């Protein structure tokens, strides 16, 4: 198949890496949810050969991710796994779970299942990182995000930009505490939580 391509991945991969690099410890196993094309995985794992980067997505995207992995031939990216937050989660737990531009595609119920599942699959003291647009104080953070949200909802009325305060509450309920919420280019954010340890 022809290689799927996301221009936004190429544009945001360096700024995302800059935001998360201090959390990518040698030997860490990362689970990426909603890998899309697989471009982030190939780029990040290529620069960090000492971490394992597990890609995942819904069934329909796995062949495209495989094409990127075949092109990259990197030892530290295993076969992509099927993961739909509504039903198919891996049995193991990870040092980090990463997901870019996926929460605004999901419905509210899927986002709830996302956080519950992440809570169960992140190791104590491990990190959960999401990248994308979010609303704050009940409002859009830019006119372009407002227009983007309208476009998303016209495509799928259950999707749309989520409120930071709501997802932070879901993260807390799943056992995470917030570590950082970083302003990114083009009105996006990188939000980082840490899973509480037994002593917290």
Ligand X SMILES: C[S@@+](CC[C@H](N)C(=O)[O-])C[C@H]1O[C@@H](n2cnc3c(N)ncnc32)[C@H](O)[C@@H]1O
Question: Would you tell me which residues interact with ligand X (CB under 6 A)?
Answer: 6, 8-9, 33-36, 40, 57-58, 61, 83-86, 100-102, 105-106, 110
For ligand X, the closer CB: 44 or 193: 44
Q: Which residues are paired to 193 by β-bridges?
A: 128, 178
Length of the chain: 200
Q: Which two tokens stand for residue 29?
A: 């196993």
Q: Which residues are paired to 98 by β-bridges?
A: 32, 129
Smallest distance from ligand X to CB 199, Å: 32
Smallest distance from ligand X to CB 200, Å: 28
For ligand X, the closer CB: 84 or 112: 84
Please tell me whether residue 145 adopts helix, strand or coil conformation. helix
Smallest distance from ligand X to CB 104, Å: 8
For ligand X, the closer CB: 17 or 196: 17
Q: Rounded CA gap, 60 and 100, in Å?
A: 18
Smallest distance from ligand X to CB 56, Å: 7
For ligand X, the closer CB: 105 or 196: 105
The alpha-helical segments, DSSP class H, found in 21-163 are 39-47, 59-72, 108-121, 143-155
């Amino acid at each position: 198949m022809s290689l799927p391509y996301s221009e936004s991945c190429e544009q945001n991969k360096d700024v995302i890496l800059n935001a998360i690099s201090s959390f990518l410890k040698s030997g860490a196993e990362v689970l990426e949810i909603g890998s899309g094309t697989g471009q982030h995985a190939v780029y990040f794992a290529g620069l960090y050969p000492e971490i394992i980067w597990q890609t995942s997505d819904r069934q329909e995207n796995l062949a495209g991710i495989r094409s990127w992995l075949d092109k990259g031939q990197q030892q530290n990216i295993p076969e992509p796994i099927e993961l739909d937050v509504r039903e198919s989660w891996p049995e193991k737990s990870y040092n980090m779970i990463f997901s870019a531009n996926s929460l605004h595609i999901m419905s509210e119920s899927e986002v709830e299942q996302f956080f519950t599942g992440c809570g169960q699959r992140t190791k104590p003291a491990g990190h959960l990182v999401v990248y994308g647009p979010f609303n704050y104080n009940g409002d859009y953070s830019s006119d372009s995000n407002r227009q983007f949200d309208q476009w998303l909802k016209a495509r799928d009325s259950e999707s749309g930009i989520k409120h930071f305060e709501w997802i932070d509450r879901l993260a807390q309920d799943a056992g995470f505490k917030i570590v950082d919420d970083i302003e990114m280019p083009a009105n996006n954010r990188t939000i980082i939580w840490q899973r509480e340890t037994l002593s917290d």
